[in-house]
Structure 1
């Protein structure tokens, strides 16, 4: 069996800046990935296809796709995209030489093309998304087109998290999914695929039956899912041979010269006019993007991927002496945001694989049909650099590791004291909400990878400050001030209104 797994995540960005880092990141991904990918899945569903892929959506991304502010701002963003396309179509002063992507003729053609793209995106959004992402996603879950993987609230790096808060965050995240989509996920994509021994017991307690890890976590043998210890919870590993054919740290299909170049912009409009051309071609010399050339490349890579999956299934089945499982896993945002042609590839490959006689299924189906081997003791691991924890616990981020530990300890102590008398307490709820926002794994990742490190540190400290400001007012005897602060910070970040700190208190008993 072949299983395709895609994982959708962005940190909470609403009301935290627009450009170059902030909400723009959300709207770019929404327009380039979420709109076309879910449109493709809906098309395939209308053809009667089921069990197409396993889709992870983190609670924090799901919250933004349903958030009224984000929905209104996304609509504005799409309209602005159309205005920018009109600007390009009227261009009279392209800076590039004839035949390059920045020539006047190429930019005007870019404007016409982007007008068509933006018009289609506006129609898709207005028809299907104006009431949020949940009405788009839920029918695909209920009809069995996709299997949904859940995750913990706010996307924390779980191995470094206090076990009590880890359990709370996971249970709240799974319940949030149930609220949005009608079913509590049995499968899990843990943040960063991070694991430490003992977490399997927490998964079992949360009724999680299976979760994803990276291939090296299973010592490279990903041909079957493996129960972890005696928990009965199955770990499925990403097959790097197949996955890296599409996308790896150094190569993959998106680098083909015919595909649209991610890094080259027309800075007057913010549009992307060029094809990759070659790895050595400078931005000013890149050729104009040609959708017809890109379509030929997609056909070529779909055929190549199908043959790679077929070969890998045969190779692994022969090696283990029984039918093997191959799992390819990627960030959803690869398909569209990072790789413009990705949604087209995804739709075509989901038709081509079964047409070639390849058994395609979800992780849950693989587990139920016995694609499971002997138990394994899973080591500390992640899918980051080195497949260990260096990105989230290395020397570059020791200040954030220390901050996270302090924030968690302060939040737990406050919640225990505040809830001792019982009853719902919105101040305690907000303290917990800010603590979880402060410790999101994204901040350490952005610092370690030097991608908007300043923004990441600012976000972590801002949420830590909000939590401490509320606690200080309350402990200083100014209950009214603490309530005002909690309400104000919740208005600023109005996610997960159902979060209830009393459930953390129960966990401690």
Structure 2
């Protein structure tokens, strides 16, 4: 899969991320998000990759898995929760049989498959599965900072600590730290490349406009040897665009329309302005035809883009398309089938399919570039995470950082209270909360999450200063327990957090 390529080179990057949801609500927001994405995206995408690995394929795609998501996919509480959720999915399918027999039959088959895959491959968590995919080289893994912070808004000391903690977490789960990361929100501030170099990170993602659209090769940033890759928007938006992207096709299953008695989704999109009650029943045959049509269109788009870039630059070029993994299967029901069709058809069309690592090895690295402050959010700037709509969250985050950095965290031995205080601070600083508020997506939940973690941090900080708090720290650790290796002394300096030489 990674050889040949007369037309040029294509890299698909999938970014897998959800904030810490365990023990923080179930429905309509909370753990339900995790279980839906797990069942409908992570299981089928991993199954696809395992089948490619069995065929001996290498460098199929670049897979980002954030440390906070990996922690949940390995967590015994979450594993039990998903198993229960999958069983409930099957029961809901059976309950719908008298009213919606065709839908019930499809959902029975889907839930039975998911249960079988989970019980056969996932009962010990994601790390053994992911370790196999990385070891077979079917994917290149991207890591990231702990708890997915908006890095440009962090104090440099906390930014470095968060990155070391995230890389150490991946090293513990997989045996080695990744060389590449998905920078949360593709956010960048000048100088961050030096943070990456010190941590052993050699490549990361930015959005296309950060490189002024010149995404035909990776580019070393500034005076460093750290390479950034830009998302090609012309190609990526064939899928991603809310206006003309493939998932909005009338034949595909509608994400927003439910049979409320069962919670199942019975309808096709039908039309952009069609009310839920007027949407037509889902037709798998019509959906399969749309998958074939859109896979062919995407391949044609990639080939045309590569030919245009070759004509412009006088050499074979690179296209990087990047998406959230949760798009495939969860938001876009047919997405995993489309993904497989594209990854099989591109090499047949003369396109070299590889990873970001493979692109570097193939020589797709251009001249150094200065990258401006940027993100992949609306406007490609930072306003989603520091704009007026989230001024209260920004102010709260600044307060958390000030108090955290003022704590005396140095000492000869680890402190469970200090470790949990840092853990709560990192969870409070997740970029997800500001994003959800700005986008008005479960904004009340997001404000609550930012507030509750900040309050728990403040409580533990006061107990730490008083020389108390072990019992309270243990209570909170059972609820907010990712990154068990986290050592608060690493934030004080003079202590390396975790086993990797980050």
Pairwise TM-score range, normalised by the shorter structure: over 0.9
Name 1:95's counterpart in structure 2: none
Q: State the structure with bigger RCO (CA 8 A, min sep 6), 1 or 2.
A: 2
Contact 2:409 2:491 in 1 (8 A): no
Name 2:420's counterpart in structure 1: 430
Q: How does 1:266-415 map to 2 (within 5 A)?
A: 266-414=259-407
Contact 1:59 1:151 in 2 (8 A): yes
1:18 aligns with 2:8: no
Deviation readout 1:391-411 (Å, 9 max, x if unpaired): 000000011111001101111
Deviation readout 1:167-196 (Å, 9 max, x if unpaired): 011011111111111221111100000000
CA distance in 2, matches of 1:48, 1:344: 20
Q: CA deviation at 1:506?
A: 2.1
1:213 aligns with 2:206: yes
Contact 2:242 2:248 in 1 (8 A): no
Q: How does 1:77-476 map to 2 (within 5 A)?
A: 77-91=85-99, 107-414=100-407, 417-419=408-410, 421-475=411-465
Contact 2:409 2:489 in 1 (8 A): no
Q: How does 1:43-58 map to 2 (within 5 A)?
A: 43-58=51-66
**Corresponding residue SS for 1:3:** strand
**Corresponding residue SS for 2:15:** strand
- What is the aligned counterpart of 1:487 among 451, 474, 487? 474
Name 1:98's counterpart in structure 2: none
Contact 2:66 2:143 in 1 (8 A): yes
**Alpha-carbon distance change, 181 to 474 in structure 1, aligned in 2, over 3 angstroms:** closer
Contact 1:258 1:275 in 2 (8 A): yes
Contact 2:418 2:460 in 1 (8 A): no
1:35 aligns with 2:14: no
Name 1:73's counterpart in structure 2: 81
Q: CA deviation at 1:255?
A: 0.8
Give ranges in structure 1 of 5+ residues lacking alignment.
92-106
- What is the aligned counterpart of 1:8 among 1, 16, 23? 16
Name 2:499's counterpart in structure 1: none
**Corresponding residue SS for 1:359:** strand
CA distance in 2, matches of 1:303, 1:310: 11
Q: CA deviation at 1:251?
A: 2.2
Which runs of structure 1 show a deviation greater than 3 angstroms over 4 or more consecutive aligned residues? Answer: none
CA distance in 2, matches of 1:190, 1:56: 10
Range 482-491 or range 77-86, more displaced: 482-491
Q: CA deviation at 1:65?
A: 0.2
1:505 aligns with 2:487: no
Name 2:4's counterpart in structure 1: none
**Corresponding residue SS for 2:426:** helix
Q: CA deviation at 1:249?
A: 3.5
Q: CA deviation at 1:508?
A: 9.0
**Corresponding residue SS for 1:423:** coil
CA distance in 2, matches of 1:342, 1:437: 30
Range 196-205 or range 281-290, more displaced: 281-290
Contact 1:168 1:507 in 2 (8 A): no
CA distance in 1, matches of 2:156, 2:464: 26
CA distance in 2, matches of 1:486, 1:411: 16
Deviation readout 1:39-65 (Å, 9 max, x if unpaired): 011111111111000010000000000
**Corresponding residue SS for 1:326:** strand
Q: CA deviation at 1:493?
A: 1.3
Q: CA deviation at 1:322?
A: 1.4
Give ranges in structure 2 of 5+ residues lacking alignment.
1-8, 497-502
CA distance in 1, matches of 2:61, 2:295: 16
